[in-house]
């Protein structure tokens, strides 16, 4: 009986060692993948910041004004004037919802008629 118990304990130790060994390598592979993803994210963030700076540089008002003046005849642009904008009175706003009279406002279980 003792021999059987020793064999079971030895088998259990070997099984646990195999499981720990396998988990260790899976963890290391996952950590390498996380490090690679973090490096890729850092690269993309750097590219985004460079593109953002380039966009800001290209959209400088003085540069855009020069481009408009150079291509004014080709593009057929019109200078902005106050009459090009609409009056506030011309904007159609949605109608307010009319509540039923003589009752409580609709709740989650009560609907409009």
Once rounded to an integer, what is the mean pLDDT over residues 45-60?
Answer: 96
pLDDT digits (tens, 9 = 90+) for 30-47: 999 999 999 999 999 999
Q: Please give the Cα distance from 47 to 81 (Å, whole number).
A: 39
Residue 21 has pLDDT above 60, yes or no: yes
State the CB neighbour count (10 A cutoff) for residue 3: 7
Mean pLDDT over each residue of the chain, to the nearest integer? 85
Query: What gap in Å lies between CA 77 and CA 64, rounded to an integer?
Result: 13
pLDDT at 8: 93
**pTM score, two decimals?**
0.51
Are 80 and 65 spatial neighbours (Cβ–Cβ below 8 Å)? no
Q: Give the residue with greater pLDDT, 9 vs 101.
A: 9
* pLDDT value for 25: 96
Structure-token pair, residue 42 = 């850092």
Reported confidence tier of residue 101, pLDDT bands at 50, 70, 90: low
In this predicted structure, what is the pLDDT of residue 60? 93
């Amino acid at each position: 009986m003792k021999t059987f118990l020793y064999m079971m304990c030895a088998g259990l130790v070997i099984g646990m060692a195999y499981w720990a060994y396998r988990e260790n390598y899976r963890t290391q592979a996952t950590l390498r993948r996380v490090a690679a993803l973090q490096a890729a994210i850092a690269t993309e963030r750097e590219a985004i910041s460079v593109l953002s700076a380039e966009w800001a540089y290209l959209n400088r008002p003085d540069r855009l004004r020069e481009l408009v003046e150079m291509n004014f005849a080709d593009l057929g642009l019109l200078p902005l004037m106050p009459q090009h904008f609409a009056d506030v009175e011309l904007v159609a706003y949605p109608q307010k919802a009319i509540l039923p009279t003589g009752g409580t406002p609709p709740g989650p279980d009560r609907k409009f008629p």
